[in-house]
Amino acid sequence: MTAIQTLDTPDGPFTLLADAEGRVLASGWTGEQGRILARLRPADRPHDVRAGETEAAAAVQAYYDGELSAIDAVPVAQHGTELQRAGWAALRRIAPGEPLSYTEFATALGRPSAVRAAASICARNAPALFVPCHRVLRGDGSLGGFAWGVEVKGSLLAREAGARRA
């Protein structure tokens, strides 16, 4: 069974979808379960989704309590091309408080000229927070886009920068 759970966070409601193995399939700052399911390609959407507790919820709470590394060990399941999967793995290696530009992210993928592909990898990332696409910025340091709003992205980056300085 696939469980969906909504938590209250300082950045608003956060909903996560996890499979029976505890892997996060999709997540984001919304209380609308349909928006979370829509982050997945139709072929990848689970059919048996029920409200329930998820193991990943504890990591979200720990993250917001200041333990930024709590999200690192949470397993995720993502379906995509080889480049997308490599990109999502690379996003998980970006340290809190040390965001990269899209150009730096493309370079980290071994494809320095593929800046648009790097941006697309971020845009298609379904398990937000656990795969921290919010840690990628425009070349000029501005926030750029974020599926859950630039206010949330800015808040996450400020939280991570503050914890890094502490």
Catalytic positions, written as ranges: 133
Would residue 141 be called left, alpha or beta, if left means φ above 0 and alpha means ψ between -120 and 50 degrees? left
CA distance 92 to 130: 8
The dihedrals phi and psi of 30, each to the nearest 5 degrees, come to -160, 155
Nearest Cα neighbor of 61 from 79, 77, 74 is 74
Q: Are the C-beta atoms of residues 57 and 74 closer than 8 Å to each other?
A: no
Q: Are the C-beta atoms of residues 35 and 16 closer than 8 Å to each other?
A: no
CA distance 25 to 56: 11
Q: Are the C-beta atoms of residues 27 and 129 closer than 8 Å to each other?
A: yes
